[in-house]
Each structure stands twice: as C-alpha cells, then as structure tokens.
Amino acid sequence: MSGPSERYFVSVQPGLESALEDELDELGVASVAEEGGVTVKADRDALHHISLWSRVASRVTVRIGSFKASNLGLFASGARKLPWARYVAPGRKITVRVTAHKSRLRHRETITKKLQLAVRDALRGPRSHTKRPPREPLLVVVRIVHDQVTISVDASGDDLHRRGWRREGGAAPLRENLAAGVLRLLEWDVDEALIDPMCGSGTFPIEAACIASGKPPGRDRPFEFESWPSHLPKAWAHCKKQVGRVPRPMHDLPIVGRDRDEGAIRRSIANSRRAGVDKKVEWSQTVFRDGSVLPEQPGLVVMNPPYGKRIERGNAKDVFALMGRCLRTRWIGWRVGILVPDRRLLSSLKLPLEEVANFQHGGLRIYLMAGVVHDE
C-alpha cells in the first residue's frame, strides 16, 4: 500500500459515467458513480494507475476535506485545518474554482481570497526544503451545497484527454477521452475491425490503435501530483515500470481511417506518428459515397459526421440521407456507431439505431446512436 487512503474524484463528460466506471472496474479500481464522474477511495497506487491507464477520464482531484460553513469566518477556520502541507509546496500559488448552490456563501471572489489567505496561514513556518515551487498555480476546487463545503486539489494538471500526440486538429475535433468513451460504450475490442470513414484528425482510429497496442495514454505526459510535497516518486516509478509487463492484446484485424479531405489524412498520419501507432492504422483519402474495399469480416464503422457550423443547416438532412443510403447499400452486417447532433436527423438515416448515450460537445448536445446494418 502506497501511503494512506485518500478520496479521489475521477471526472468525465456527463453522460459517459458508465463508460468510466466500467473502465476502472477493468483496471481493478473500485468506484462509485456520481454525476460527472466516479469516487474512488484508495491509496496512491490507485491514483498512479488511473492517471497512467484511464483513457476515458477527464481529470482526477483528491478531496482533502469537508466541513459546514454558513459564513466566511467558519469557512476560513475550516479551510485552515485541512492538510495543505501534503499537497501545496510552500510559496506555491493557487487558483481557485468555486461552485455554490443553495448556500449563504455565494460570492466567488470573496471565497477565493479567503481560501488563498487560509492556505497561506496554514503553510506558515520554516520550509522543510529549498526546492522552488512550480511557477504554474495549483488548482483548488471548492464546492458548496447547502453550506456544506468540499475542497479538492487537482492531481492531473493538463486535462487527461491531452495524450501529447494531437498537434494537428481539424474543425471541431473530438476529444481523445470522448472517443475512448464512445468506443467502450460501443463495446469495441481488438478482435473486431474498425473503420472511420470520416476520420477528420484521426481520433477514433488512433485511440483504437493505442488500445490495440496496449499503450498507456498517460505514459508521455507529466501530472500535477508529481509536484505535491507528499508525492511518492518510487511508487510512481514502479507503476510506470510495470507497463512493459502488461500483456499486449493480439490484434490482426484492420483499423482504418478514411476521409475525403487530403489535409485531414495528412493531419491524421502526423498525429498517429506522434502517438507511435502510424503502422497500425491504414489511412486513405476516400469519398464515403464512392465506396472502397471493405474487410471480408464485418466489424464496427464509427462516424463523427460534420454538423453544426461545419455543415449548412439545410443540407444536414441530405447529408444524413446519403450516409444512410451508403451504409444500407454496402455495409450490410456491420455494426454502426454514429454521433448525431439532432434526433430529427435519424429519420433521414433510415437505420435501426438506438441511443447509447448523450453528452455535450462543441456547444451541442450529441447523441451516440448504435445498431447493426441489415439487408433491406
């Protein structure tokens, strides 16, 4: 066991909680689902494991304390008693994110200033080391509901969807962790072919190839918990060393990314090279309606078609009607997963699809629809 037990909140895009809970269960981490994520009560080994391996999570925070406060005095007093020395290096600046609901404490700026003063007071005294604190401020999250205050400290740093490989993005690219969540909800695994015929910057094929190669999504990036005074470098190094011992799944079936736009394919190839999976994905410039050779064995066709500002409103029905016609003509027997911005477009597809999940993306409510293409 690495250190005392702590309570972590692993956040995810609302609507994908079940995908995150399922993933953590697969990783051997027990969790309890909440709105917008899951709670995990465990030691640092679990934090390290989640940070290194979770493809679906958005961020991890550690909940360092909770107390009742109906006024600023009680708030400051309760905040000073929390174990800040475990998470904040002396001299480190903090940035505060406040949400308050049905509470007598409502003014975010005042709450922020009170908390910053409370942390500074709690850390007064001689420094135990001379190492300079990081320049970037540490994120502290304050949530107040019915005068019950819960304070958490960021463990991730950059959002977890930032794998480090995306430098080439198209219009409204799907976040990496959203793509991973969609693939999990569609129950795709490495024993099934996958084709994205409108791949954009290549997110779906690259995430699928990373899953197939056994590459941990957090391998090539830093984490905020590495700056904590209570960080356990040996335990973290041991966790990363175990990566090479994890059996890599077998995968002989194709992962394919296609797009009509030459620039999209060029960006996808560049992204896949940085992700280290360019040899595992077949990229080609192809117009969806023109068709191309498909694998003999049907698999999963996953699509994030253009919508919103990327397509004129009057043409959306025509675009979805064409997609549906192409699928019904050439993709018989394939499972299909498609992101749809408006349920009214489903009638244009003319496919037997059911809603699997819905979530916000690009300022729109997006519906994940899934089904099997049958012979007409």
Q: Which residue has the tokens 């910053």?
A: 116
CATH number of 176-214+249-372: 3.40.50.150
* Residue 376: pLDDT over 70: no
Q: What is the pLDDT of residue 251?
A: 58
- Single-letter code of the amino acid located at 97: R
| Domain residue extents for the chain | 6-154, 176-214+249-372
Q: What is the pLDDT of residue 242?
A: 81
pTM over 0.85: yes
Q: What is the pLDDT of residue 288?
A: 85
Q: What is the pLDDT of residue 309?
A: 54
Q: What is the pLDDT of residue 294?
A: 82
pLDDT tens-digit series, residues 31-63: 999 999 999 999 999 999 999 999 999 999 999
Cα–Cα distances (Å) from 367 to 77, 316, 344, in that order, read: 45, 15, 11
pLDDT tens-digit series, residues 2-30: 778 999 999 999 999 999 999 999 999 99
With the CA atoms of 311, 315, 321 and 325 taken in that order, what torsion angle do they form, in degrees rounded to the nearest 10?
-80
pLDDT tens-digit series, residues 69-123: 999 999 999 999 999 999 999 889 999 999 999 888 888 999 999 999 999 999 9
Helix (H) or strand (E) holding 285: strand 282-285
| Higher pLDDT pick, 254 / 249 | 254
Residue 198's pLDDT band, with cuts at 50, 70 and 90, is: very high
Asked if 254 and 80 count as a contact pair (C-beta separation under 8 A), the reply is no
| Higher pLDDT pick, 133 / 9 | 9
* Residue 263: pLDDT over 90: yes
Q: What is the DSSP annotation of 133-165?
A: PPSSPEEEEEEEETTEEEEEEESSSS-TT--S-
- Single-letter code of the amino acid located at 105: L
Report helix angle 176-185 to 203-213, nearest 10.
70
Q: What is the DSSP annotation of 75-134?
A: HHHHHHTS-GGGT--TT--EEEEEEEES-S---HHHHHHHHHHHHHHHT-S--S--PPPP
The domain defined by 6-154 folds into VC0802-like (3.30.2130)
Name the DSSP class of 3.
Answer: S
Q: What is the Cα–Cα distance from 285 to 287, expressed in whole angstroms?
A: 7
Q: What is the Cα–Cα distance from 14 to 288, expressed in whole angstroms?
A: 31
Q: What is the pLDDT of residue 362?
A: 79
